[in-house]
Amino acid sequence: MATWTRTPVATAVAVSALQGLSGGRAAVAFGAMPKAWSEDWHGVDHSRPVARMRDFIGAVRQAYEAPDGVPRDHDGPFYRFAGYRRLAPPTGHPLRVWIAATGAKMTELGGEAADGLLMNVMCSPEWVRETSLPAIARGAASTRRDSPVGRAAMVYTTIGDDEREAIDRARPGIAFYFRTPYFHDVLRWHGFERELAAGLDAMARGDEDALVASVSDEMVTTFSLAGSRRSVLDRLRVHAEIYDWIELAPPVGLDGPTTVGLLEQIVAAIPDMNDVFRH
């Protein structure tokens, strides 16, 4: 997963190295970041994120696909380079680009210009079915592509014998996304206006405990896999109907020992999870 904080040439060189080391198994996912991160942390204008992402992908492809010894130029609306020559021979492996997307326009771009879409933690299976899949189809139709568009997701996962404890452990990770304005639309779409109002109020007061407490049980079960191994596997079947693969991760905001314990539970459940996806 990468953002546009590196230049397209630096990004292409890094991906080339990964492809060479992995024997062509590497893929890269590009994400736009929230506006504040892009502008305040990295000094990258965020006013036209979809157009910038389209140009960024095109520029990275141009640099990555440069033949050995032949200079390449790119003159886009956001990114430009001239006379780029490879310092190492091409890997011989194709560049596989995924886009991390939530909103309809960026998801459409994935259908148009990427090999696949990586859905955020806050993209529930219901959201993906109702909003993301139609957007992918629109993007693919715009270029009349006939190759499939991959679908994947990162999903917060907390497995434990105590269902209540598992749900509570997922709250901090979900609460983190109150800070990102474009996820407010996702919460409203799901009908979580009350929780959103409580979370925004807690943020305004600087009350972290109240922010986490504003995440309801229904929010946790909507956006994460939290509970016993059996309940997590049952919910995973819904994801298996939508995605080619998923990345299971402990939520952010937990202490080190708790995070390690959750990772151990995820790893122990992988054989059963693989069976779910195979079926």
The answer to whether residue 129 scores a pLDDT higher than 80 is: yes
Please report the pLDDT score of residue 145 as a whole number. Answer: 81
The answer to whether residue 3 scores a pLDDT higher than 70 is: yes
For residue 88, the Cα-to-chain-centroid distance in whole angstroms is 30
184-200 mean pLDDT: 96
The answer to whether residue 185 scores a pLDDT higher than 90 is: yes
Percent of the chain topping pLDDT 90? 83
Please report the pLDDT score of residue 197 as a whole number. Answer: 97
Q: Environment class of residue 254 by beta-carbon count within 10 Å: exposed (0-12), middle (13-18) or buried (19+)?
A: middle
pLDDT band at 277 (very low <50, low <70, confident <90, very high): confident
Please report the pLDDT score of residue 130 as a whole number. Answer: 96
Q: Supply the mean pLDDT for the chain.
A: 93
CATH number for the region 8-157+229-278 comes to 3.20.20.30
pLDDT band at 29 (very low <50, low <70, confident <90, very high): very high
231-240 mean pLDDT: 92
pLDDT tens per residue across span 195-228: 999 999 999 999 999 999 999 999 999 999 999 9
Per-domain residue ranges of the chain = 8-157+229-278
* Contact present, 190 and 126 (Cβ < 8 Å): yes
Please report the pLDDT score of residue 146 as a whole number. Answer: 79
Lowest mean pLDDT among 50-54, 112-116, 179-183: 179-183
Please report the pLDDT score of residue 81 as a whole number. Answer: 97
pLDDT band at 279 (very low <50, low <70, confident <90, very high): low
- How far apart, in whole angstroms, are the C-alpha atoms of residue 247 and residue 241? 15
Q: Environment class of residue 252 by beta-carbon count within 10 Å: exposed (0-12), middle (13-18) or buried (19+)?
A: middle
- How far apart, in whole angstroms, are the C-alpha atoms of residue 243 and residue 83? 40
